[in-house]
Structure 1
């Protein structure tokens, strides 16, 4: 697996001013940032933390946070 990738955005992001995040792998971390404020900072996760988050999301553990 490469040590670094480019920023990726979800295919569900609309590009019409919606709230979006971008993520990338960089120097052993998974970094996440706000696509509307790219210079505003980022959040870093270990690969283990990111894998745990994705596992939980796939299982619906965060569904109660969804809005209509």
Structure 2
């Protein structure tokens, strides 16, 4: 189950290799960033790009893979159907 990770230390946040979608500039830069925790746990952290010090949500590998599969299958194309 995903967890709110407000308690990630500054050191843990610094180790995350944050990525922003290349589509971010097309929507005014309001985007999320995601990246692996790089702590050997195979978890992915997600945060709001404009609020990098705010809450971070952490997903397990299986949760992240399920989300990506849904994206690839257009399950989250809410505004195009």
TM-score by length of 2: 0.68
Task: Provide the rounded CA distance (Å) in 1 between the counterparts of 2:26 and 2:53.
Answer: 18
Aligned residues: 63
Task: Provide the rounded CA distance (Å) in 1 between the counterparts of 2:65 and 2:27.
Answer: 29
Unaligned runs of 5+ in 1: none
RMSD of the TM alignment (CA)? Answer: 2.0
Greater strand content: 1
Greater helix content: 2
Unaligned runs of 5+ in 2: 1-14
Task: Provide the rounded CA distance (Å) in 1 between the counterparts of 2:73 and 2:26.
Answer: 27
- Flag the structure with more relative contact order, 1 or 2, with Cα contacts below 8 A and sequence separation at least 6: 2
Corresponding residue SS for 1:14 = helix
TM-score by length of 1: 0.79
